[in-house]
Amino acid sequence: MSMQYDYDLIVLGGGSGGLAAAFRAAQHGCRVAMLEPGELGGTCVNVGCVPKKAMWLAADLSGRIGLAAALGFDVPTRAALDWKELVVHRQAYIANIHASYLKRLNENGVVRVPRKGRLVDAHTVECSDGIRISGAHILIATGAHPQRPDIPGAELGKVSDDFFHLCSAPGQVAIVGGGYIAVELAGLLQALGSRVTLLVRGDRLLERFDAELTAQLAENLCHQGVKVHFNYRLRELRRDGDAVVAYGHDGPSDGHFDEVFFATGRRGNSAGLGLEALGIEVGDKGEVEVDEWQTTAVPSVHAVGDIAGKVGLTPVAIAAARKLMDRLFGGQPHAKMDYENVASVVFSHPALGAVGLSEEEARARFDDVRVYRSNFRPMLQALANGSQRSLFKLVCAGPEERVVGVHLLGEGADEILQGFAVAVKMGATKSCFDDTVAIHPTSAEEVVLMR
């Protein structure tokens, strides 16, 4: 590596993408510095995937206890949760991740600088304490943050980060939004004791997912007790004593809530990085503009993860960072991230997963599309007289019926989807599954794949 600079790589941000890049570059023998003023792990570990999954598991247990009671077990229909005790276990788990990351950084010789950084030129970063360091390459991996809508009283609402500061379930909760964060928070809070109202601006949930699956998800949420209002345009929030009142454009007061959460999008953490002065373009949502190789208009400056505005998923950030490091330092000049057919999971109740094209996208792209589906109540739901339904869709295109999309709403969707994701990437056809996948009846209802 060149000794012209202090480091071969300077990483701004210690989230999933930044850590993956630092570890892979160090494995290639690079001198690496990482600037991160906060806790290691970024959004995913601290206010995202990890604590969310912990709360999701608790909510799932709550639902299963209710099913057990319906089946005759001597347990309460709705078991009380010591929320503070759950938070203690959750944060202890996260602390172990922090310690593990720090240990790996030390073992790999990565220098951690607990400061913010600002680009001075194509190879120089100024730390927030005024010290400057230079690097052959600079990676921006500063992530994104949730944003509030520009409406009167927006300061009265909270964002998804604030959910993890709760120590008890609020009584009445409004969640503004219809994306995956809104859906996940709605299911979690409803299962853990809140009464949730979901205020959705559009006419459906999860616009990037298959419409039939999201319609079934909306029905499931309603059966769980969540009130879902579509085509709702929030005008303002006002304080009324201890409550927050939501007002829509199409009517008077729409409800008094103990808490209102905004799940109305995220914005890249690009402010204050000095990008514009270097000619690096920043998009409308604060994302750093990069090419298909994760490189900005300045050849030595790159970006991965949420800040790059591609696919905002932790595994994608990790994969993109590793590909970039392999290209820059690993002798693999053609290594780049493939953003096609990326598997995505929403931790609703039950989970929803998808890979490839939705039915709508497939019909817009191909002339010959066939869809196979199975919609049923899982056996446990049927036995306990539950109302939750699962849905499985296989979207095929062309005379050979190549599988171009797989969509799952049901228990274990996050795990089952992985195998289908590989099959879709390899160009599998429906015939590949005909003799290997047996769809067994799992309830009193018939379960078959049918057109």
DSSP calls for 41-101:
BHHHHHHSHHHHHHHHHHHHHHHHHHHHHHTT-SS-SS----HHHHHHHHHHHHHHHHHHH
Q: What local confidence, expressed as pLDDT, does residue 439 receive?
A: 44
For residue 438, the model assigns a pLDDT of: 46
Separation between Cα atoms, residue 235 and residue 254, nearest integer Å: 10
pLDDT at 355: 96
Mean pLDDT across the stretch 341-370? Answer: 95
Residue with tokens 């009517």: 251
The pLDDT score that the predictor gives to residue 77 is 87
User: What's the pTM value of the predicted model, to 2 decimals?
Assistant: 0.93
pLDDT tens digits, 72-101: 999 998 889 999 999 999 999 999 999 999
Residue 342 lies in a domain: no
Phi-psi region of 412 (alpha: psi -120 to 50; beta: other; left: phi over 0): left
Q: Please give the Cα distance from 272 to 266 (Å, whole number).
A: 17
For range 338-348, the mean pLDDT: 92
Same domain, residue pair 166 and 129: no
Q: Which amino acid is at 16?
A: S
> In sequence order, what are the residues at sequence separation of 6 or more whose Cβ sits closer than 8 angstroms to the Cβ of residue 276?
282
Yes or no: say if 420 and 240 are a contact pair by the CB < 8 Å rule: no
Please list, in sequence order, all residues whose beta carbon lies within 8 angstroms of the beta carbon of residue 83, skipping any fewer than 6 positions away.
Answer: 166, 167, 168, 169, 192
Pairwise pLDDT comparison (219 vs 1), residue with the higher score: 219
- Confidence tier at 358 by pLDDT (50, 70, 90): very high
Percent of the residues in the chain that have a pLDDT greater than 70, as a whole number = 95
Residue 447 lies in a domain: no
pLDDT band at 259 (very low <50, low <70, confident <90, very high): very high
pLDDT at residue 2, as a whole number: 63
Give tens-digit pLDDT for 264-315: 999 999 999 999 999 999 999 999 999 999 999 999 999 999 999 999 899 9
Q: What are phi and psi of 227, to 5 degrees?
A: -90, 120
Q: Are residues 174 and 255 in the same domain?
A: yes
pLDDT of the residue at 252:
55
pLDDT of residue 345: 95
Report percent pLDDT > 90 for the chain.
Answer: 88
- The CATH number given to whatever domain includes residue 392 is 3.30.390.30
Do 170 and 216 lie in one domain? The reply is yes
Domain range for residue 215?
A: 154-264
Looking at the structure, tell me whether residues 39 and 171 fall in a common domain: no
Evaluate if residue 44 carries a pLDDT over 60.
yes
pLDDT: which is higher, 252 or 37: 37
In this structure, the answer to whether residues 130 and 159 fall within a common structural domain is: no
The pLDDT of residue 444: 41
* Phi, psi dihedral angles at 310 (to 5 degrees): -90, -110
The number of domains in the chain is: 3
Q: Hunting for tokens 């019909």 — which residue is that?
A: 363
Q: Same structural domain for residues 95 and 212?
A: no
Active site residues per annotation: 440
Mean pLDDT of the chain: 93
| Domain presence at residue 128 | yes
Please check whether residues 325 and 383 belong to one and the same domain.
no
Final residue of a structural domain among 248, 264, 280: 264
Q: What is the CATH number of the domain that holds 228?
A: 3.50.50.60
pLDDT average, residue stretch 215-221: 97
The verdict on 122 and 180 lying in the same domain is no
Would you say residue 435 has pLDDT above 90?
Answer: no
Looking at the fold, whether 121 and 30 belong to one and the same domain comes out as yes
In-domain check, residue 137? yes
Q: Are residues 257 and 278 in the same domain?
A: no
163 and 234 part of one domain:
yes
**Any domain includes 1:** no
298 within domain boundaries: yes
Would 189 be classed as within a structural domain? yes
For residue 2, is it within any domain?
no
N- to C-terminal Cα distance for the chain? 58
**pLDDT score recorded for residue 248:** 92
Q: 408: closest CA among 355, 342, 340?
A: 355
Same domain, residue pair 251 and 289? no
Rounded to whole angstroms, the Cα distance separating 33 from 29 reads 13
> What pLDDT does 433 receive?
78
Specify which residues 227 forms β-bridges with.
197
The first and second tokens of residue 423, run together, are: 């099959």
Tell me the mean pLDDT in the region 421-442: 74
> What mean pLDDT is predicted for residues 250-273?
90
| Domain final position from 243, 264, 285 | 264
Q: What is the DSSP letter of 217?
A: H
pLDDT at 160 over 50: yes
